[in-house]
C-alpha cells in the first residue's frame, strides 16, 4: 500500500482570551482532545504541563500528526496549531472548535499545504472578527 505525503497545517495566534481558560492545563487538555475527535482524528496520547506562576502547554499526539496549544495567560495569548496528514481529517475543524471555546478578541493565522513539494500557504489570515 502506498501512502500520500499530503498534509494540512493550520497555525493561529489568539489574543484577548480569558486568563482563567488559558491557565488551566486540564481544561485545555479536554478541549484539545474534543477538537481532535470532532475533526475525526485518532488520539494516540496526550501530554500537558501547567507552568508556575502561569501558563500551560498541551500536546495531543494523533495518528495523523498533532494538535497543540501553548499559553501566556498574563497576556491573553495562546499559540495553537494542528497538522494532519492525509485528506480524511480536516485540521480546520479542530481549530474552529478551539476558537469557539476560547472566544478570543483577535485571531491571526495561516493554512499551509505540506508534503506536496514546496510548502504552499493557502490562506494568510491577518485578523478574524471577534468570536464573542
Q: Which member of 9, 65, 66, 82 is catalytic?
A: 65
Catalytic position from the list 9, 66, 70, 82: 70
- 82 has catalytic annotation: no
85 is catalytic: yes
Residue 30 designated active-site = no
Contacts of 8 (CB under 8 A, 6+ apart): 83, 84, 90, 91, 92, 111, 112, 113, 114
CA angle 5–11–12, rounded 5-degree value: 165
Count of Cβ atoms closer than 10 Å to residue 8 Cβ: 22
Active-site residue, from 9, 66, 82, 85: 85
Residues annotated catalytic, as ranges: 65, 70, 85
Amino acid at each position: 500500500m502506498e501512502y500520500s505525503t499530503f498534509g494540512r497545517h493550520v497555525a493561529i495566534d489568539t489574543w484577548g482570551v480569558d486568563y482563567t481558560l488559558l491557565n488551566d492545563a486540564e481544561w485545555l487538555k479536554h478541549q484539545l482532545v474534543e477538537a481532535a475527535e470532532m475533526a475525526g482524528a485518532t488520539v494516540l496520547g496526550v501530554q500537558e504541563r501547567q507552568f508556575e506562576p502561569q501558563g500551560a502547554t498541551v500536546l495531543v499526539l494523533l495518528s495523523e500528526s498533532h494538535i497543540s496549544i501553548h499559553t501566556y495567560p498574563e497576556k491573553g495569548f495562546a499559540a495553537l496549531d494542528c497538522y494532519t496528514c492525509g485528506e480524511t481529517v480536516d485540521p480546520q475543524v479542530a481549530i474552529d472548535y478551539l476558537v469557539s471555546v476560547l472566544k478570543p478578541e483577535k485571531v491571526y493565522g495561516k493554512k499551509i499545504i505540506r508534503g506536496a513539494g514546496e510548502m504552499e500557504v493557502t490562506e494568510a489570515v491577518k485578523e478574524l472578527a471577534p468570536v464573542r
